[in-house]
A and B are shown apart, each in its own frame.
Chain A
Amino acid sequence: DAGVIQSPRHEVTEMGQEVTLRCKPISGHDYLFWYRQTMMRGLELLIYFNNNVPIDDSGMPEDRFSAKMPNASFSTLKIQPSEPRDSAVYFCASSLYRGEGSNQPQHFGDGTRLSIL
């Protein structure tokens, strides 16, 4: 079975440019999560979706960050304009809903290593 697929794997761009990260969750999964990982702050949840609807975006650092999920098989995380402090590894994860309180594991993509110069 295909896992969570993220693209690109690496992105290097200059400050001020728009960056778009892409994610394809595992087929049939109901939840999709976007995380950011840095040495200083560890893993941070940015936003998550349930059935394509954004549920909690309180982790999105600034208005420069936006995320969409137009359908069950695709999500994007966009940074515009990008800044050097946005450099991090961005992970997408998905999980399956199996009933109230069943808390299934999140399965992660390989991540996008983003460097803003």
Chain B
Amino acid sequence: AQKVTQAQTEISVVEKEDVTLDCVYETRDTTYYLFWYKQPPSGELVFLIRRNSFDEQNEISGRYSWNFQKSTSSFNFTITASQVVDSAVYFCALSEAMDSNYQLIWGAGTKLIIKP
């Protein structure tokens, strides 16, 4: 069965610290996609990244980076030099290529609090 686990319910750090949000997934499909979304206090859901199961290269976008490791079924998200504006709930999600419905399996989310 498909499942996404974000074990960290809430993380609080001081501004400028680095922080890593964990995401562990379960799937039987060999082709799948992983996503991260950000939900700031204003409530909207913002797409951050999509990664397919055949691409294990780490991705960096400014202060954001993602570490995909199939061996541990993890797709972790690191924010370097965090800022107050990074405060949000971050969701990890899984979509299986064999699922013709293209549905997203969501993690429970990690609430990130960046203190000034």
Which residues on A sit within 8 Å (CB–CB) of B109?
Answer: 42
Interface residues of A (CB under 8 A from B): 31, 42-43, 45, 48, 55-56, 89, 91, 93, 95, 100-111, 113
Residue pair B35, A111 in contact (C-beta under 8 Å): no
Q: A43-B106, A45-B103, A106-B104 are in contact. Are A101 and B31 (CB under 8 A)?
A: yes
Beyond known contacts A42-B109, A43-B91, A93-B45: 20 more, CB 8 A cutoff: A31-B102, A43-B106, A48-B101, A48-B103, A89-B43, A100-B97, A101-B97, A103-B33, A103-B95, A103-B102, A105-B35, A105-B50, A108-B37, A108-B44, A108-B45, A108-B46, A110-B43, A110-B44, A111-B43, A111-B44
State the CA gap A103–B37 with chains docked (Å).
15
- Chain B residues, CB < 8 A from A104: 50, 102
Contact residues of A: prevailing secondary structure: strand
Residues in chain B within 8 A of chain A (CB atoms): 31-33, 35, 37, 42-47, 50, 52, 91, 95-98, 101-104, 106, 108-109
